[in-house]
Amino acid sequence: MNSVFGKLGKIAVASSLCIAFASVVAAQTPAPQRPNLNGIWMPGAAPPPPAKSAMCGEKVDAFDNDKQERFAANGAKGGAKWITFEQDCGVQHRGRVSKPEYKPHFWDEVRLRDYHANAGGKYEKYADPQWKNLPLGVPRLGPPNQIVQLGEQVFFLYENQNQFRSIPTDCREHDPVLKFDQTMNGLAVGCWDGDTLSVTSMGFSDDTWLDWPGYLHSNEMVVIEKFKRTGDVLAYDVTIEDPVMFMRPWKNETLRLNLNKTPGAQLMQDVPYIDRSLGKLVDPNYRG
């Protein structure tokens, strides 16, 4: 009997030593190196070139706009080079390939909002929230203009109305109380997945739109933003989930942002408020 207990004791001691050794090794193992996302990021990075077709050969471009830098201002590409903001930048938004797929009974609401987007009076309930002088909100706010990365925290800075977002990146659970608050930008928590930062936001107000053509959402929307740096280019992907209104999650087209490497570059202040005078425009169809 004593020999049995002796063996068990040796096994227990060996197990304890193994656990202690594993703990020491784990403590000495450095945390994985995270990509550095610090910097001012600007739209307009060119996407990877498509593979050339042996049948078609080289691209033939008969238009000068593709060769003139001023038509590509603010990262404009494709049809955006041909449509001036004064004419109707909504054409760009309505013509995008990637669109949210609403449940059938919500499409009438979307169309009414798009048609009466800047109308006042009895149609004001359909108006674009931006024309009510409300913040754009996430995800319509777009990617941050500057990222400040400090340990397990990132700060997103926006020139648009001088907004900011403070986001923990320690993979914590969303606060059980705050996640039910309703704000324009939601409650965000970040988590690293290898070299990609994933930011999940919830707790949204339904007072904002997703995009120009009346794309509304419910207060149960969840937004997942992903940031992946390759060299001096930052890929920004957004997936929007809305179990109330959507047939399936909507993934926006990937945006690629350039790192601003100009010495001394700094984020400039925006005007804090713009009165858009809802319903009092000379041209009621203009929503620039």
Cβ-proximal residues to 144 (8 Å cutoff; 6+ apart), any chain: 41, 156, 157, 158, 165
Residue 272, pLDDT score:
76
Residue 109, pLDDT score:
96
- pLDDT tens, 115-166? 888 777 788 899 999 888 889 999 999 999 999 999 999 999 999 989 999 9
- pLDDT tens, 242-274? 999 999 999 999 999 999 999 999 999 988 777
pLDDT above 90 as % of the chain: 54
228 has a pLDDT exceeding 70: yes
225 has a pLDDT exceeding 80: yes
- pLDDT tens, 166-186? 999 999 999 999 999 999 999
Q: What is the pTM of this model?
A: 0.76
Q: Is-contact 116 213, C-beta < 8 A?
A: no
67 has a pLDDT exceeding 70: no
211 has a pLDDT exceeding 70: yes
**Range list of H helices, 32-94:** 85-88, 90-94
- Mean pLDDT over all residues of the chain? 81
What region does 72 belong to: left with phi over 0, alpha with psi -120 to 50, or beta?
alpha
Residue 198, pLDDT score:
98
Among the listed ranges 7-11, 101-105, 262-266, 278-282, which one has the minimum average pLDDT value? Answer: 7-11
Residue closest to 219 by CA, chosen among 261, 247, 180: 180
Q: Is-contact 161 272, C-beta < 8 A?
A: yes
- pLDDT tens, 9-28? 554 545 554 455 445 444 44
pLDDT above 70 as % of the chain: 68
* DSSP reduced 3-state for 283: coil
Q: Is-contact 118 127, C-beta < 8 A?
A: yes
d(CA 166, CA 155): 5
188 has a pLDDT exceeding 60: yes
55 has a pLDDT exceeding 80: no
Q: Can you read off the two tokens belonging to residue 102?
A: 């609403």
- What is the band of 104 on the pLDDT scale with cuts at 50, 70, 90? very high
